[in-house]
Structure 1
Amino acid sequence: MKAGDHCVISDCSYGGTNRSCREFFSHLGMSFSFVDFRDPEIVRKAMKPNTKLVFSETPANPVLTLTDIQAVSDIAHAGGAKHVVDATFATPVMVRPLDWGADMVIQSLTKYYEGHNMMTGGAVISKDKEMHERVKFIQNVHGNIINPFAAFMVLQTSKTMALRVRQQSHNAMAISEFLEKHPKVTKVCYPGLASHPQKALADKYHRDGIHGGMLWFEILGGVEAGKKLMNVCQRPWSLCENLGATESIITACAVMTHANMLKEDRLKVGITDGFIRVSCGIEDKEDLIRALKIALDQI
Structure 2
Amino acid sequence: MDKDVHQGFETLAIHAGQEADPTTGAVVPPIYQVSTYKQDGIGGLRGGYEYSRSANPTRTALETCLAEIEGGSRGLAFASGLAAEDALLRTVLKPGDHVVIPNDAYGGTYRLFAKVAEPWGVTFDPVPLNAVAAVRAAIRPETKLIWVETPTNPLLGIADIAALASVAHDAGALLAVDNTFASPYLQQPLALGADVVVHSTTKYIGGHSDVVGGALVVTDPGLGERLTFHQNAMGAIAGPFDAWLTLRGIKTLAVRMDRHCANAEAVAGMLSRHPAVTEVIYPGLPTHPGHEVAAKQMKAFGGMVSFRMASEEAAVRVCERTELFTLGESLGGVESLIEHPGRMTHASAAGSPLEVPADLVRLSVGIEDVDDLLRDLEQALA
Normalised by the length of structure 1, the TM-score is 0.94
Contact 2:113 2:124 in 1 (8 A): no
Contact 1:223 1:255 in 2 (8 A): no
Question: Could you tell me how far 1:218 is from its partner in structure 2?
Answer: 0.6
Question: Could you tell me how far 1:130 is from its partner in structure 2?
Answer: 0.5
Picking from 360, 364, 372, the partner of 1:275 is: 360
Question: Are 1:162 and 2:162 matched, yes or no?
Answer: no
* Greater Rg over alpha carbons, structure: 2
Question: Could you tell me how far 1:180 is from its partner in structure 2?
Answer: 0.5
Query: Which amino acid counterpart does residue 306 of structure 2 have in structure 1?
Result: W
2:377 aligns with 292
Question: Could you tell me how far 1:197 is from its partner in structure 2?
Answer: 1.1
1:228 aligns with 317
SS across alignment from 1:149: helix
Contact 2:103 2:354 in 1 (8 A): no
Question: Could you tell me how far 1:231 is from its partner in structure 2?
Answer: 1.9
Identity %: 40
Query: Which amino acid counterpart does residue 230 of structure 1 have in structure 2?
Result: C
Question: Are 1:46 and 2:134 matched, yes or no?
Answer: no
2:234 aligns with 142
What is the 5 A alignment of 1:51-90?
Answer: 51-90=143-182
2:35 aligns with none
Q: How many residues align?
A: 290
Question: Are 1:239 and 2:332 matched, yes or no?
Answer: no
SS across alignment from 2:306: strand
Structure 1 range deviating more: 271-280 or 176-185 = 271-280
Question: Could you tell me how far 1:254 is from its partner in structure 2?
Answer: 1.9
Which 4+ stretches in 1 moved above 6 angstroms?
Answer: none
1:96 aligns with 188
Q: Quick one: distance in 2 between partners of 1:228 and 1:51?
A: 43
What is the 5 A alignment of 1:191-202?
Answer: 191-202=283-294
Question: Could you tell me how far 1:199 is from its partner in structure 2?
Answer: 1.1
Cα deviation code 1:167-193 (max 9, x no counterpart): 000000000000001010000011111
Query: Which amino acid counterpart does residue 24 of structure 1 have in structure 2?
Result: V
Contact 1:248 1:279 in 2 (8 A): yes
SS across alignment from 1:9: strand
Question: Could you tell me how far 1:264 is from its partner in structure 2?
Answer: 6.1
Picking from 346, 349, 369, the partner of 1:261 is: 349
Cα deviation code 1:109-154 (max 9, x no counterpart): 1000111110010110001100111110000101121010010111
Q: Quick one: distance in 2 between partners of 1:279 and 1:137?
A: 35
Gaps of 5+ in 2: 1-92
Contact 1:223 1:254 in 2 (8 A): no
Q: Quick one: distance in 1 between partners of 2:145 and 2:352?
A: 27
Q: Quick one: distance in 1 between partners of 2:236 and 2:350?
A: 31
Q: Quick one: distance in 1 between partners of 2:361 and 2:235?
A: 37
Q: Quick one: distance in 2 between partners of 1:45 and 1:231?
A: 43
Cα deviation code 1:84-132 (max 9, x no counterpart): 1001000111110000110000011100011111001011000110011
Aligned-residue Cα RMSD (Å) equals 1.3
Question: Could you tell me how far 1:32 is from its partner in structure 2?
Answer: 1.6
2:83 aligns with none
Which protein has the bigger strand share?
Answer: 1
Q: Quick one: distance in 2 between partners of 1:254 and 1:38?
A: 22
Cα deviation code 1:208-231 (max 9, x no counterpart): xx11000100112x2221222122
Question: Could you tell me how far 1:18 is from its partner in structure 2?
Answer: 2.5
Contact 2:145 2:174 in 1 (8 A): yes
Contact 1:3 1:28 in 2 (8 A): yes
1:117 aligns with 209
Question: Could you tell me how far 1:9 is from its partner in structure 2?
Answer: 1.2
Q: Quick one: distance in 1 between partners of 2:98 and 2:358?
A: 33
Normalised by the length of structure 2, the TM-score is 0.74
Gaps of 5+ in 1: none
Contact 2:105 2:354 in 1 (8 A): no
1:213 aligns with 303
- Classify 1:34/1:240 alpha carbon distance in 2 versus 1 (closer, same or farther; 3 Å): same
Q: Quick one: distance in 2 between partners of 1:262 and 1:17?
A: 14
Question: Could you tell me how far 1:263 is from its partner in structure 2?
Answer: 4.4
Picking from 334, 337, 342, the partner of 1:249 is: 337
Query: Which amino acid counterpart does residue 279 of structure 1 have in structure 2?
Result: S
Q: Quick one: distance in 1 between partners of 2:354 and 2:97?
A: 27
Query: Which amino acid counterpart does residue 234 of structure 1 have in structure 2?
Result: E
Contact 1:16 1:259 in 2 (8 A): no
2:52 aligns with none
Structure 1 range deviating more: 8-17 or 189-198 = 8-17
